[in-house]
Structure 1
Amino acid sequence: MTKRKILILGIILLMTLGIFVGCKGNISQTSEVPDELGDVKIGVITTEELAEKINDTKVVVVDIRPESAYIGWQLENEARGGHIKGAVDFPMAWASLVKEEELKGLLEKKGITPEKTVVVYDTKGEESEKMARLLVDMGYENVLNYQDGLAAWAADKSLPMDKLARFEKLVHPEWIDQLIQGKKPSTYEGNEYKIFEVAWGEPTDYTKGHIPGAYYLDTNLLEEEPIWNRVSDEAIEAMLLANGITHDTTVILYGQDTTPAARAASVMLYAGVKDVRILNGGYAAWVNAGFEEETGINVPEAVKSFGLEIPSNQKYIIDLEEAKDVLLDPKAELVSIRSWGEHIGETSGYSYITPKGRIKGDVWGHGGSDAYNMGDFRNVNNTMRNYHEINGFWRDYGITPDKGAYFYCGTGWRASEAFFAAYLMGWENIGVYDGGWYEWSMDEANPIVIGE
């Protein structure tokens, strides 16, 4: 008897025993003897059955829609934005970005493991079966397709959902495209808007191609040597006015990398700009979405008044003495957003910073592999990592929203990205310690620690 016949007989036996049909837990799985082994029918699960299983630790629910939909954007007229409460994110597009062996690792990091029952869904059940079949082909045996999709779940207000508190501040390419076309996309109140590509130095990449209508913002206008702290409040105001920004201008920031955009966001929020947004995934997200690019340089028209006193949100950026106060406050944490090597003193992280170690009394808030990397906060496509996961690794170090959280790194860029993540999550008592390790380590009287 061939191996194929043995396998088919085994499937028939299992069906007879009731393991595949009417299995325990009221999860409706269906299967059939295939003409070809690769044509196994994917099991399905109903809304009612899924509602009973979302808290089961042996079940993992996977949202395969774009990140923008997961965090709260209603892309297909869903009754509610966000995701099924407890679901992990794994956009279908990620599967094509990595090799199969890397894909397995990414799935496992999300808790999508073969020993669990995996439930996949999209908005209307149009793509989820493809993801389910991909998992089956990879060796996952217990995979179910929620065919009703998020649209059905969102329509029933009794079913739990979750979303990023300030999801609207993390925009997607389609939203910007609608804005450029003169439309009024969701959450946009119709104010004057400005789009900026943010980077350090000359606009080399910007002139090669940028979002149509975008201006260029050099971070040298935001910070200055010797320690790269923010410029004076007067200089911040001059920068804003020269770039046509008032307190009620909607400002959209992006870059070839998100970190400089986050640095600009922290300064603008500190100044008092009310509606600051960042393009999730940066310029690559715009290009990969297939939208048009523009070359040349756009020059903004200056305005005469910002409209508010600067800074209007002074708490968002703190200085050395305030950082020392945070260390003494039992209800606040000074959070190191640096690589583990920097944190324990293996490296200073920078060619121009000699001292190694960390600020005594701080807590580690994750970072990346080095001083120029924010891998712990990014997905495989450089979009922002699932906010539940960021919240989780912060919680492990005692960084929670009921406390103050003031982030620092070497000179403020990485800290700004972590700050903006906390801002998106709706945390209130947050800020950036501007001087960071560079400023702190300049004074030998400031206590430092080396080692784990």
Structure 2
Amino acid sequence: MRPLVSASDLAAELASSTPPRLLDVRWILGGPPGAEEFERGHIPGAVYVDLDTELAGHGAPTDGRHPLPDEDEFQAAARRWGLDDGDAVVVYDDVSGTSASRAWWLLRHAGVSSVRVLDGGLAAWRAAGGAVETGASVPEPGGVSLAFGSLPTIDADRAADFPAGGVLLDARAGERFRGEVEPVDPRAGHIPGARSAPTVDSLDAEGLLLPPDRLAERFAAFGAVPGAAVAVYCGSGVTAAHTVLAMEAAGLPTPALYPGSFSAWSNDPSRPVATGE
């Protein structure tokens, strides 16, 4: 299944007899929760998902800022969203999919086969003339059964060795990769051997994902081609999921995700940090 759905196709699906479940994952690094923005306007039928509390766990600093949630707690959250086994799911945000991709990745990892990201997010929906509704949304609880393990992951030890036998991509902004700035993590720089591949460079000027052929060309320039071992990380495992999405949209094999990402790596003094290009 292609991991994206356009605003026009989503509108048609929502008007059908079997509409997908809609999850709104509005979140900004360092910003307030998106619940208030959700209540001010969201796609009709959507349910708000809190990234910090429902799409992430909480542990030691060496686990990272957004470690994967506990499997049972994630299943409980998905049931609160009204999900049942066999449901088709569409996730969206207002930042071109860079936070909604976390929900996409987690649901895929937990065994949900039909889950897509709204290409261009809420902005694309509004631009296409899509209606919005206001207020809270509390669905009837669902009974979905979830189990992690459907997508590949790596840990810090594997990330340390990865550049020797594959391609390790860093999805953060270039200035954070180079160590010029670091707004949240204790050390600036990147995992030695990684390559800078900012996830925003997979988007066009309207916030839509680039066409598959252009995405494939972009990743080929990093050595991320069919047959190559590829893994990706970011600051805390959120925007890296968007790079996983982009690679799948390009028709490439699904890369491994390092969930702890640089927030976990930089909190471990035994791990070296590189700077510069």
User: TM-score band, normalised by the shorter chain?
Assistant: 0.7 to 0.9
Residue pair 1:247, 1:274 contacting (<8 A) in 2 also: no
- 3-state SS of paired residue (2:236): coil
In structure 2, how many angstroms separate the alpha carbons of the residues matched to 1:428 and 1:385?
A: 17
Any residues of structure 2 matched to 1:269-288 within 5 Å, and which? 269-288=108-127
- The change in CA–CA distance for 1:388 and 1:235 in structure 2 (over 3 A counts) is same
Q: Is 1:407 aligned to 2:232, yes or no?
A: yes
C-alpha deviation, 1:229, in angstroms: 1.2
C-alpha deviation, 1:314, in angstroms: 4.4
C-alpha deviation, 1:262, in angstroms: 0.6
- 3-state SS of paired residue (1:358): coil
- 3-state SS of paired residue (1:230): coil
- The change in CA–CA distance for 1:241 and 1:387 in structure 2 (over 3 A counts) is same
C-alpha deviation, 1:379, in angstroms: 1.1
C-alpha RMSD of the superposition = 2.0
Deviations 1:220-265 (A, max 9, x none): 2111445211211121111112222244211101111121101111
Counterpart position of 1:179: 13
Segment of structure 1 superposing worse, 409-418 or 243-252:
243-252
Aligned partner (choices 313, 319, 326) of residue 150 of structure 2: 313
C-alpha deviation, 1:327, in angstroms: 3.8
* Runs of 4+ more than 4 Å apart: none
Aligned partner (choices 197, 200, 218) of residue 24 of structure 2: 197
In structure 2, how many angstroms separate the alpha carbons of the residues matched to 1:280 and 1:395?
A: 22
Greater Rg, structure 1 or structure 2?
A: 1
Residue pair 1:334, 1:363 contacting (<8 A) in 2 also: yes
Matching residue's letter, 1:241: R
In structure 1, how many angstroms separate the alpha carbons of the residues matched to 2:188 and 2:109?
A: 29
Which consecutive residues of structure 1, in runs of 5 or more, have no partner in the other structure? 1-165, 184-189, 368-373
Matching residue's letter, 2:148: P
Matching residue's letter, 2:213: H
Residue pair 1:250, 1:276 contacting (<8 A) in 2 also: yes
Matching residue's letter, 1:171: V
- The change in CA–CA distance for 1:421 and 1:176 in structure 2 (over 3 A counts) is same
TM-score by length of 2: 0.88
- % identical equivalent positions: 27
Aligned partner (choices 346, 350, 353) of residue 185 of structure 2: 353
Relative contact order, higher structure (CA 8 A, sep 6+): 2
How many pairs are equivalent? 265
In structure 1, how many angstroms separate the alpha carbons of the residues matched to 2:212 and 2:151?
A: 25
Counterpart position of 2:169: 335
C-alpha deviation, 1:325, in angstroms: 4.8
C-alpha deviation, 1:390, in angstroms: 2.5
Counterpart position of 2:30: none
Counterpart position of 1:152: none
Residue pair 2:101, 2:238 contacting (<8 A) in 1 also: yes
- 3-state SS of paired residue (1:356): coil
C-alpha deviation, 1:429, in angstroms: 4.2
Matching residue's letter, 1:197: D
C-alpha deviation, 1:202, in angstroms: 4.4
In structure 2, how many angstroms separate the alpha carbons of the residues matched to 1:379 and 1:305?
A: 35
In structure 1, how many angstroms separate the alpha carbons of the residues matched to 2:131 and 2:21?
A: 18
- 3-state SS of paired residue (1:449): coil
C-alpha deviation, 1:285, in angstroms: 0.9
Counterpart position of 1:230: 68
Give the structure with the larger strand fraction.
1
Residue pair 2:219, 2:225 contacting (<8 A) in 1 also: yes
Counterpart position of 2:41: 209
